[in-house]
Structure formats: structure tokens, C-alpha cells
């Protein structure tokens, strides 16, 4: 989700570089960007409800063995 959010933000920023690009960027990418943000919030809330972390907390192979 974070990678998709960054990708869409980059596309929006790139579109904003031209005069008409801001409108085109908003029409083309804004709804997807908002969807990703909403999904990210829902995942974070669900993780908090389950008392778990959104990002994995892996240990190195040496510590596991």
C-alpha cells in the first residue's frame, strides 16, 4: 500500500508540473490515491484492534537459529 501511495503521489506531482496537468492528475489519480489512503487507515485500525503491528518485526537469522 505504501509503495502504491508513493507511486500515485509521484504521478500526481508529475501531472501538476504542467498547467492542465493538475486537473488531469486529479481526475486520473486522485480517486485511486484516496482509496489507498482509506485502505491504509482501515488496515492500521484493524491491526490496533488485534493488538498487532502493521510492519513486521523480524529478527535476524542468527537470533532465530
Residue 17: its pLDDT value, please?
A: 87
Residue 54: its pLDDT value, please?
A: 74
- How confident is the chain (65 residues) per 10-residue block, as mean pLDDT? 92 86 84 94 92 72 57
Residue 46: its pLDDT value, please?
A: 93
Residue 34: its pLDDT value, please?
A: 94
Contacts of 44 (CB under 8 A, 6+ apart): 54
Q: Can you tell me which residue has the cell 502493521?
A: 54
Helix, strand, coil percentages in the chain from 3-state DSSP, rounded to 5? 70, 0, 30
Amino acid at each position: 500500500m505504501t509503495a502504491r501511495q508513493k507511486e500515485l503521489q509521484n504521478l500526481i506531482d508529475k501531472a501538476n508540473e504542467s498547467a492542465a496537468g493538475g486537473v488531469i492528475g486529479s481526475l486520473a489519480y486522485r480517486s485511486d490515491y484516496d482509496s489507498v489512503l482509506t485502505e491504509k487507515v482501515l488496515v492500521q485500525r484493524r491491526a490496533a484492534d488485534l493488538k498487532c503491528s502493521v510492519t513486521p518485526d523480524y529478527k535476524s537469522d542468527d537470533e532465530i537459529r
